[in-house]
Every structure is written in structure tokens, then in C-alpha cells.
Amino acid sequence: MIQETVQDWKDYELIDSGFGEKLERFGQIVLIRPEPQALWPSNISKEKWKSLAHARFVRDNTKKSHRDSQNENGGWDYFKKVPASWIIEYKSFNLKLKLSCTSFGHLGVFVEQVSNWHFIDEQVRRIGNKPRVLNLFAYTGAASIVAANAGADVTHLDAVRNVVTWANENKQLSNAPEIRWLVEDALKFVKRQVKKGQIYHGIILDPPAYGRGPDGEKWVLEDQINELVELSTQLLDKEKHFLLLNLYSMGLSGTIGVNLFKSHLNEPAIWGECIVPCKSGIHLPLCTWVRNYK
């Protein structure tokens, strides 16, 4: 297993974590959000956390949750003034992202994905000649922008229309090349692409644990990931390609993804973790990734 960390990002900092929460700085805004993997005690007192933070997202435990990695029930408690939206920058890729305190507790970026952005950038440049890249469950578009800036012809797909609109705003902020935007159910789209004989040089799979398509299609990672990987491998160019899968479900080993890749692609794969470092030395694992490239 390989461990990769978030590095050299001046606009982001994990200040502390523990007792099921994390204290983070995004630009000038400091926030407290739930983090179920932070099972250890915090390094800084909770009183100090509150004095540093602008706001805290509090789960509503009286409501049943779909346990979707991109959705939580709850709301924000504000201690200081927070703008409706603000911009952070990741200068390595000329990437500018609009953030906002959404009703789900998310902000518009998953910071642990930095190491995957570097992988995508490297693979697009390695393949060259404007490779076709498909980004599924693509959220607010950071990976799509990185791929487009590296020279890819990018198709960006997400099931939520306002998230795709948000991604387009980030594309404009970053002054990135054109990207093809789709509001679609990922599995349905991939099935149609296979029937049409479409070919891609890179596919990014970033599925939540649970979710819904634009027409109410149900997504459950453990039930459908095998079919999604199988179909995705059929879309890959035989000569040069890369395939990236993120696994956010707690308890799912990267070896599962490696086995899926080997079964359907018959090529080796590697897996690792995305780690968010903290000055306290208590680093936070937030995502397992699986990669193949040829």
C-alpha cells in the first residue's frame, strides 16, 4: 500500500482532528466538520477549537441518513461571519475553486484528492495528443479542470445539475479549456457508451457509497461497483490508458479495487491511501485509491 499526502497547499490546513471531528482552514475560513474516521482524542482542546472556528457543522442524529459520503443531515452553527462563498487556489495546477458552506456539510472540494490530481496530470501528459478523459461522479470539477489543463478532451458527468453548474464556475475561475458537461446517471451513461463503441484514454471513477441519479436511480457502491468497473474497462483504449477508482466506504480495502481491475482488465493495479497531514503528527486517512495505467 502507498500513502500519499496533501502537500504545498497554502490555502488549506488540517489544524487538528479527533473525537469524530476535524478542524480545517480553507483560505481564511476555519471550520469544524464531522469526521467519522477521527477516532482518537484531539490534540487541541475543544474550547480552543471553538475560538479558532468560524462555524461548525452539526449532524442531526434524529434523522436517518443514507450514509452517502457526500450527504449528511444537519446544519451549521456560526460563531463568526462567513461569506456565502469564497475562493481558494491550488497554484500547482492554476486551480481556483469556489467554496460554500452547503446544507450537507460539504464545501465543494475534497482536499485529499490532491495526490490523485497529480496522477491525472501526469497520465494525461504521458499519453499526449489530446487524450479523451471521462470523469464520472465528477462533483465540482477539480479533477476535470486538472485533466483539461494538461491537454485532455474531458467529459465531466455528475447526477446533480447544480453541482455541474458549480463545476463550470470553477472552470471559468481557473480559465481552463473547454469541458463537456453532462447531468446523467453514471451507470446508464457508461452502458450507452459501450454499446456505441466509444473509447477513452482515461477514466476517473469517484463514486459515493450511496447516491441517487437525476431520475431517482439508486446507487449502492457494494452492489454496483463490479458492473461499473467492468463496463469502464471496456471503454479504455487498448494501447494507452489510465483508470482511477476512489473508495470512500469505511471498511473497503483497496485490494477489492485491485481484484476488480485484474478481473476485468487483466492488468496489474496499485492501491494506496490519501492522507491529510497535521502539524500534531496525527494524520487523517480520507480516501483509498486504486490505479492502473498502460
71, 156: one domain: no
In total, how many domains does the chain have?
Answer: 2
| Rounded-to-integer distance, Cα 155 and Cα 162, Å | 17
Cell numbers at 64, concatenated: 436517518
Asked whether residue 27 is assigned to any structural domain, the reply reads: yes
17, 68: one domain: yes
Give the lowest-confidence range in 67-71, 193-197, 231-235: 67-71
| Rounded-to-integer distance, Cα 268 and Cα 276, Å | 27
What tens digit of pLDDT does each residue of 239-254 get? 999 999 999 866 788 9
Asked whether residue 233 is assigned to any structural domain, the reply reads: yes
Asked whether residue 201 is assigned to any structural domain, the reply reads: yes
Tell me the pTM.
0.93
Q: Does residue 212 surpass a pLDDT of 80?
A: yes
What tens digit of pLDDT does each residue of 215-243 get? 888 988 889 999 999 999 999 999 999 99
172, 261: one domain: yes
Asked whether residue 101 is assigned to any structural domain, the reply reads: no
Asked whether residue 103 is assigned to any structural domain, the reply reads: no
63, 159: one domain: no
pLDDT of residue 18: 97
174, 287: one domain: yes
262, 219: one domain: yes
Q: Which of 39, 59, 90 is the last residue of a domain?
A: 90
What tens digit of pLDDT does each residue of 126-168 get? 999 999 999 999 999 999 999 999 999 999 999 999 999 999 9
pLDDT of residue 72: 58
What tens digit of pLDDT does each residue of 5-25 get? 998 899 999 999 999 999 999
Average the pLDDT over 175-189 and give the result.
97
Asked whether residue 96 is assigned to any structural domain, the reply reads: no
| Rounded-to-integer distance, Cα 236 and Cα 241, Å | 6
| β strands within 19-145, DSSP E | 21-26, 29-34, 55-59, 74-78, 86-90, 95-99, 132-136
Q: Which of 60, 90, 120 is the last residue of a domain?
A: 90
At 199, is the secondary structure helix, strand, or coil? coil
140, 186: one domain: yes
Q: Report which secondary-structure segment, H or E, holds 18.
A: strand 12-18
191, 54: one domain: no
Asked whether residue 164 is assigned to any structural domain, the reply reads: yes
174, 283: one domain: yes
73 or 147, greater pLDDT: 147
In sequence order, the β-bridge partners of residue 116 are none
* 93 and 31 Cβ atoms separated by less than 8 Å: no
Phi-psi region of 245 (alpha: psi -120 to 50; beta: other; left: phi over 0): beta
257, 129: one domain: yes
pLDDT of residue 63: 42
Q: For the domain that residue 28 is a member of, what is the CATH number?
A: 2.60.40.1180
Q: For the domain that residue 247 is a member of, what is the CATH number?
A: 3.40.50.150
Q: Which of 56, 90, 124 is the last residue of a domain?
A: 90
240, 139: one domain: yes
Can you give the residue range of the structural domain that contains 31?
Answer: 2-90
Asked whether residue 98 is assigned to any structural domain, the reply reads: no
148, 250: one domain: yes
